[in-house]
Chain A
Amino acid sequence: MGQHAVSNALRIRDEIEPGSNAAGYDALARHNEDGSHSLSVLVRGVHCAACIQKIEGTLKRLPEVRAARLNFSTGRLTVEWSGAADSADAYVRAVEALGYEVHPFDAKDEESAVKSEERFLLLCLGVAGFAAGNIMLLSVGVWASTAETMGMATRDFLHWVSALIALPTILFSGRVFFRSALRALSAGHTNMDVPISLALMLAGGMSLFEVLNHGEHVYFDSAVMLIFFLLIGRYLDFRARKNARNAASDLLGSLSGFALVVEGGKIRRMPVRDVKEGMMVRVAAGEKFSVDGVVAEGASMVDTSLVTGETVPREITPGADVYAGTLNLDAPVTLRVEKAAEDSLLAEIIRLMEQAGQGHARYVRLADRAARLYTPVVHLFALGAFLGWWLIGGLVWQDSLMIAITVLIITCPCALGLAVPVVQVLATGRLMKRGVIVKSGDALERLSGIDMALLDKTGTLTLGRPALDGSYEEAHLQLVASLAAHSTHPLSRAMVRSYNGGMLEIADIKEHPGKGLEGRYKGKTIRLGSRAWCGDKKAASSDKMELWLQIGKGKPIAFYFTDYLREDSARTIENLKQAGITPWMVSGDREEVVEKTAQNCGIDEFYAAQTPPQKFEILESLRAQGHTVLMVGDGLNDAPVLAGADVSMAPGSAIDLAQNAADIIFMGDQLAPVFETYNTARRTQMLVKQNFALAIAYNIIAIPMALAGLVTPLVAALAMSGSSLLVIANSFRLRWRG
């Protein structure tokens, strides 16, 4: 399946630019200590096990290659070889020859930091799991008997073994919480990890004291179980966030390609980041412009939809401005570079996104807000218990301290820690089945609180691809589709999609760059292309995209295209309005088109011809007014707003960058998932609040018991797991309803 698509893509590319274009990769090869080299590249088009095997197998058979490993999840291929750095290009060519796209990318230090953090979490989790299992094994024996039936010596022995396992585990795996708590405290506030850390340390310390004194209040099992459960939640949360982090490195990738620089009549490939202002850059048809510049030579059409959101390809002639990130459709052109890659519009979008992403981090999750209230209360209770029993109750200070510590252990937020993640995992799983992918854990929480929705036009409210508009003669459709099948132009593709019958055999097909296609059928010359080339120049102009067909010397026939609305756009907007959310439309497209679309789907307020920074300003001003904003968009021009909005969604057809910037991705040709996800988010949030209520109710019962000194290790273990089960059971109600 994947293989077919790949070979097709390869064929198309070869027509555009014959031969391989792998060059300059030797500059990216890393030099290892033992004289060998390694190279990391991004491979696109890997779909299945056969792809992995083909790529790795081919490389491993080359003489100098020591290792080749393809990471399926990230698409990153690492090759290590014993020879000189020059071989890099040959390896890239070998992979390209198999039919895969290869892109350079910069390995960042940040990435390895994320990787080592994941390893650290997993290691802590593994150790805690080992400890929890073994200590439970011993504790069950202690609970099942009394000091009389078991004998003091045996019980002390079991306690000592538990201590031997638990204390190193608390010190090792507890670091996850200790570090976070220290960070929070040194920044002058508290989080959930502060009471957790305190409880862990006190439980460990007190239990050790009890073991030394042959006591029975040993809480090693509770402490280690707590670490284990909380770490599971941490790890799941971390994995969800890691996807979002990948966005940053992909952004850099889009700036780190190669450009063909013309110097003294020769064409040289150089990394985009080395291209300077004033250089001449050649861009082949079908390639992306990698820098901002002015056309110096050649004429073509550009697809600017990714950057400006405009659906109709723009014509460029010498003197016209071109932006990085747009796609050259028809003919090769030469640009004079106006701004180097790091100053280009694309780079500005990326900077806006980074800035916006930092704003995103300002959001305080419900769980953390709860922790801010919870922590002082619990600590006051513990202090009160200590002072109360010691000064008023007349106990010795050791016994008072033990009661205070029991209060801390039993109120340790096990249920509180599960209250949010369990519901979110269930909700995310449910949405996944309906084709909605939720990337960050707290996205649903943020979605449930929105009061404004900003929607992009092209690709969001509309399908984002032109489709044939109007009715035409069957014979003409067949002829046009047969000819259009030989071109990759968006309108040609739309033509092919709209015709389902058999194709005709057309001879002598030629593509005239910037004009159209020409071929011969039944002795007549057929032309398909622009109005200026083969159309009726006198025909009334229309605001729709058009393609003209001329058979022989006959009268030209026009075909019109529009970008259709998604069939349920209007209904979804209506639903949002009824739920009290104000929808606005922001688009880079022309005023007339935007206005018409807004009317068709019932949006009262819209902004047309917005540049990416302008879109971002709209968002900023809305947020400054205190609105909570959902952004739905699919293009590069939406990316900063997607990253900066309180919560953001992108359709599955969106470009990678937008998908990475968005919190939620929905599949399919419908817009309804936006509203469905909002509904699910509301219900999720309701269950989360119920869970918090349950956790608080548990504490209302548990704290007095602890204050009264009635809690034993068995009671603590039962109460903790009991409340956790109750919270989990409540979360499962999400499945039963609706």
Chain B
Amino acid sequence: MSVLIYLIPIALLLGLIGLAAFIWSLKSGQYEDLDGAAQRILMEDDDRAPPP
């Protein structure tokens, strides 16, 4: 059973990483415009200006 000493913290750590990623995405406003996000994946790279 001593293996649990390693495995449970590892499992929790992985979960916490996921939670941290979720909180980051929430704080950076990624849930505010869900329809827009669905459209934006169709766009070309943002940084290059579209031809005039």
Contact = CB atoms under 8 A, between A and B. Distances in A.
Interface of A: 48-50, 52-54, 57, 60-61, 70-74, 115, 118-119, 122-123, 126-127, 130, 133-134, 137-138, 150-151, 154, 157-158, 161, 165
Given A52-B36, A70-B36, A122-B31, A157 B22 contact: no
A71 B50 contact: no
B5 to A, nearest CB: 9
User: Interface extent on B, as a size class?
Assistant: 20 to 34
A134 B11 contact: yes
Interface of B: 1, 4, 8, 11-12, 15-16, 18-19, 22-23, 26-27, 31-36, 39-44, 49-50
Nearest to A73: B35
Contacts of A118: 31
B51 to A, nearest CB: 10
Contact of A61 (B18, B22, B49): B49
B16 A130 contact: yes
A376 B40 CA distance: 51
25 contacts: A48-B39, A48-B42, A49-B40, A49-B41, A49-B43, A52-B36, A52-B40, A57-B49, A70-B36, A71-B33, A73-B32, A118-B31, A119-B31, A122-B31, A123-B26, A126-B19, A126-B26, A130-B15, A133-B15, A134-B11, A137-B11, A154-B4, A161-B8, A161-B12, A165-B12
A49 B8 contact: no
A73 B36 contact: yes
Given A70-B36, A73-B32, A122-B31, 9 more contacts: A52-B36, A72-B35, A72-B39, A72-B40, A119-B26, A126-B22, A126-B23, A134-B11, A161-B8
B32 A54 contact: no
Interface of B is mostly: helix
B40 A130 contact: no
Closest 8 CB pairs of A and B: A72-B36, A49-B42, A49-B39, A130-B19, A126-B22, A73-B35, A71-B33, A53-B43
B4 A71 contact: no
Contacts, number: 69
A73 B38 CA distance: 10
Contacts of B49: 57, 60-61
A74 B32 CA distance: 10
A590 B31 CA distance: 49
Given A53-B44, A123-B26, A157-B4, A71 B39 contact: no
Contacts of B23: 123, 126
A88 B43 CA distance: 26
A57 B40 CA distance: 13
A71 B26 CA distance: 16
Contacts of B18: 130
A52 B12 contact: no
Contacts of B34: 73
A10 B43 CA distance: 24
A158 B5 CA distance: 10
A128 to B, nearest CB: 10
Contact of A127 (B1, B19, B43): B19
A685 B39 CA distance: 36
Contacts of A72: 33, 35-36, 39-40
